[in-house]
Amino acid sequence: MQKLYGLVEAGGTKFNLGVARSKDEVMDVTRIPTTTPPETIAAMIDWFGMRSAEFGAFTAIGVASFGPLQLDRTASDWGYITNTPKPGWANTDLAGPLIRAFGCDVAVDTDVNGAALAEYHWGAGAGGRNVVYLTVGTGIGGGAIVNGEILHGRSHPEMGHMFVAPHPQDTDFSGICPAHGTCLEGLASGPAIIKRWGMSLSESPPDHGGRQIIAYYLAQAVCNLQSILEPDRIIMGGGVMESDGLIEILREQAVKMGGGYFVSDAAAIIQPPMLESKAGLLGALALAERLTRSAN
């Protein structure tokens, strides 16, 4: 029987939905706004119902979502968005309504783990063993593939919340992370940049010192990830990384900071994403396909 996968990229402002038989055979996609959970989930179920009427039963549905998520399969709230600050969305069951409506297996993971998995299979991480995907935007999030498996511990990683040393010219800034102040996200996310300099790095002139400061933090994150995971690739996505020249400065600083200590060359392992806007739905597809494989 031909496989059919339902794909959900659950984001804070929109849900991207898709139906595909494989990476190269995507039947349909749509986008619905993220409003309230009952409304958004009902719209998602409706759309999948119509697609299923047209194309057949789903083999599996993959959900790559904003978090935090409960990913422990033995927990009663597995597949829920848990304590998100997004109004109305705390304790929202994403997996349950899909399982009840379509009777198929559902895979749920974070958007960044989905993106890491998609880049690992089909993008900038292909051929790697340990691959990290780090997104630097409104927040900083990271996912990783270790020995072919998505890295999970008690929960999914929260790589944006690691601690790093302040840049010598940035010691006055108290950071914007409500929990940690000056963790990586508190120092180097998009809102932290705006808060300091009143504009994004993209809007700032090329010689604006902000690029050096932000690269200094991201380079420490790269070194810290090397010190623990020694990955083959650290794929740097998100809006902040689109700033002209930032990735080059980041490579330079990460090499210098590493001091030749790590086996991999930071300049080579730091890569931009290849899948870009497709990473979300392809992540959902990779999650769904993986679920099917592991069930066989």
Which residues of this protein are in contact with a second copy, per CB under 8 A? 129-130, 142, 144, 146-147, 149, 151-166, 179-180, 182, 220, 223-232, 257-264
Identify which of residues 182 and 243 has a Cβ nearer to a second copy in the complex. Answer: 182
Compare residues 6 and 139 and give the one whose CB is closer to a second copy: 139
Tally the C-alpha atoms within 13 A of residue 51's C-alpha that lie toward its C-beta. Answer: 24
Smallest gap from residue 151 Cβ to a second copy (A): 7
CB of 66 to a second copy, least distance (A): 16
Query: Least separation, in Å, of the C-beta of 216 and a second copy?
Result: 10
Q: Which is nearer to a second copy, 40 or 220 (CB)?
A: 220
Q: Which is nearer to a second copy, 36 or 169 (CB)?
A: 169
Length of the chain: 296
Query: How many other CB atoms sit within 10 Å of the CB of residue 128?
Result: 19
Query: Smallest distance, Å, CB 99 to a second copy?
Result: 24
Alpha-carbon distance 136 to 187, whole Å?
A: 11
Least distance from a second copy to the Cβ atom of residue 163, Å: 4
Side-chain-side CA neighbours of 71 within 13 Å: the count stands at 22
CB of 160 to a second copy, least distance (A): 8
> Quick one: 157 or 283, whose CB is closer to a second copy?
157
Instruction: Label residue 127 left, alpha or beta by phi (over 0 means left) and psi (-120 to 50 means alpha).
Output: left
- Choose between 153 and 198: whose C-beta lies nearer to a second copy: 153
Smallest distance, Å, CB 109 to a second copy? 14
Q: Judged by CB, which is closer to a second copy: 168, or 206? A: 168
